[in-house]
Amino acid sequence: MTTGVRRRMGVEERRQQLIGVALELFSRRSPDEVSIDEIASAAGISRPLVYHYFPGKLSLYEAALKRASDELAARFLEPQEGPLGARLLRVMRRYFDFVEEHGPGFSALMRGGPAVPGDGPRSRDAVSRTNALIDGVRQAAYDQILAHLRIEDPPARLELVIRSWISLAESTALIWLDGRRIPRGELEVQLVHDFAALAAVSAAHDEEMAELLRRMLGDEPTDGPFTDLVGRLVALGAPR
């Protein structure tokens, strides 16, 4: 008869395990509500051993946010094939998958809240590092959208459209988490419509954006989300 023996983890393996455990706990509740004791218990180790790998809850919290930000940025990766509207819709579905799986953690990441109270240098440094993670996610999303549009040197109006849309996706997700009063699937489609709408408004003021919009709509199938938006807008203007 054999007995089970707990396998000893290496330093980096244990660190990654603790980050995963912390991220899972932070995803279910506010980081302020999660204790080191709870993290240690979930990881199957002692409280002092957690401090052996991380000097405190703040450093573990930041490591969990780093993993979350990397995972969120990866949700914007999409093969550059097929109509743009369908690609953006798949991105939004993965984005909201993350939001739904990591509700409190997503809110903490986007709102830049550190796991330590106060307004001292330590807290300010934590906020600064968290903001850098958020900016990294936004930049990754921005770069991906440019790649899908096959544009390397974007004009100012296009940069405004893309960055405004990324901010809109963030705020929409945060508002949705607070009560989930609108069906998630409807918001995913609406955000894709929002991208086209922002581009259309910009196109009304700039010929370069108008040409980009023509290209976007020209590649869109009859059942695509951009075509759906055009149909909805035309229907609104039809006499009753």
Convert the pLDDT of each residue in 150-181 to its tens digit. 999 999 999 999 999 999 999 999 999 989 99
Q: What is the CATH number of the domain that holds 91?
A: 1.10.357.10
The parent domain of residue 216 ranges over: 68-237
Whether residue 212 lies inside any domain: the answer is yes
Closest CA to 177 of 60, 73, 96: 96
- Report in angstroms the alpha-carbon separations of 138 from 42, 135, 141, 160: 32, 5, 5, 13
Contact 161, 203 (CB under 8 A): no
Whether residue 152 lies inside any domain: the answer is yes
Q: Provide mean pLDDT across the span 11-23.
A: 89
Please spell the DSSP secondary structure of 74-112, one letter per residue.
HTT---S-S-HHHHHHHHHHHHHHHHHHTHHHHHHHHHT
Contact 133, 65 (CB under 8 A): yes
- Report in angstroms the alpha-carbon separations of 26 from 19, 75, 107, 215: 10, 19, 10, 43
pTM: 0.83
Contact 104, 26 (CB under 8 A): yes
Q: Provide mean pLDDT across the span 42-48.
A: 92
Whether residue 25 lies inside any domain: the answer is no
| The pLDDT value given to residue 2 | 39
Does pLDDT of 68 surpass 90? Answer: no
Whether residue 223 lies inside any domain: the answer is yes
pLDDT confidence tier of residue 115, bands split at 50, 70 and 90 = very low
Whether residue 32 lies inside any domain: the answer is no
Contact 50, 43 (CB under 8 A): yes
Q: Per residue in 197-214, pLDDT tens?
A: 999 999 999 999 999 999
Residue 19 half-sphere exposure toward CB, CA atoms < 13 A: 16
Whether residue 227 lies inside any domain: the answer is yes
Whether residue 189 lies inside any domain: the answer is yes
What total of structural domains would you count in the chain?
1
Please spell the DSSP secondary structure of 120-136, one letter per residue.
SHHHHHHHHHHHHHHHH
Q: For Cα atoms 18, 71, 80, give the angle at the middle one, nearest 5 degrees.
A: 160
Does pLDDT of 52 surpass 80? Answer: yes
Q: Provide mean pLDDT across the span 88-107.
A: 91
Whether residue 104 lies inside any domain: the answer is yes
